[in-house]
């Protein structure tokens, strides 16, 4: 099948990001996650997300970047706009908030960049933490999918 889709590259190390449709893990395709096999970072894009819940959540998060957020030295892998950073938390069922995580968002399109270290703060790696980036990205995508079931809070 001719995809005609452009490649996107990791804003941290320049490696080609593995698009959701090339991933064998459903968590990536449902949530529109492009991941980096080098650093385990993840790029989320609402338009690439199959899951309506996820697309809605990303749309909500995007509103937090259109007028606010601190500009950072990171170009959006989709549209090359300068990205911005904000802190988010997720609200657990008992009303408490998770640790805040830093998410880089694009003010122009619904793209978000998550460094693997940010999600690891919510889900410390098992064992000695020396998982290869590919496995790490798989684990983090599952964490993210669980988080997306919860209300997101802008800090």
Contacts (CB under 5 A) with Zn ion, residues 45-104: 76, 78-79, 81
The binder of Zn ion chosen from 29, 31, 45, 111 (CB under 5 A): 111
Instruction: Output the CA–CA distances (angstroms, integers) from residue 66 to 19, 27, 106, in the order listed.
Output: 25, 27, 8
On whether the CB atoms of residues 54 and 30 are closer than 8 A, the answer is: yes
Residue 57 beta carbon to Zn ion: minimum distance, rounded to whole angstroms = 17
Q: How far is 69 from 90, CA to CA, in rounded Å? A: 18
Say how far apart CA 92 and CA 98 lie, in whole Å.
7
**Quick check: 38 binds Zn ion (CB under 5 A)?**
yes
In angstroms, give the least distance from the CB of 78 to Zn ion.
Answer: 4
* 18, 39, 55, 103: which one binds Zn ion (CB under 5 A): 39
- Closest among 8, 23, 36 to 132, alpha carbons compared: 36
Minimum CB separation of residue 76 from Zn ion in Å reads 3
Spell out the residues 6+ positions from residue 30 whose beta carbon is closer than 8 angstroms to its own.
49, 50, 51, 54, 145
Asked if 106 touches Zn ion (CB under 5 A), the answer is yes
**Under rule CB under 5 A, residue 25 binds Zn ion:** no
Residues that bind Zn ion (CB under 5 A): 10, 12-13, 36, 38-39, 41, 76, 78-79, 81, 106, 108-109, 111
């Amino acid at each position: 099948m001719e995809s005609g889709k452009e490649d996107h590259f990791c804003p941290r190390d320049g490696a080609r990001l593995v698009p959701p449709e090339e991933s064998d893990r459903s968590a990536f395709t449902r949530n529109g996650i492009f991941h980096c096999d080098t650093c385990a970072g993840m790029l989320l894009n609402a338009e690439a997300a199959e899951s309506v819940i996820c697309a809605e959540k990303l749309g909500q998060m995007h509103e937090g970047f259109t007028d606010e957020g601190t500009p950072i030295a990171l170009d959006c892998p989709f549209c090359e706009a300068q990205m911005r950073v904000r802190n988010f938390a997720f609200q657990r069922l008992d009303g408490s908030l998770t640790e805040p995580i830093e998410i880089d968002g694009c003010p122009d399109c619904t793209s978000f960049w998550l460094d693997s270290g940010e999600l690891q703060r919510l889900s410390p790696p098992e064992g000695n933490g020396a998982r290869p980036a590919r496995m790490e990205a798989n684990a983090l995508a599952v964490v993210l999918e669980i988080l997306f079931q919860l209300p997101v809070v802008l800090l």
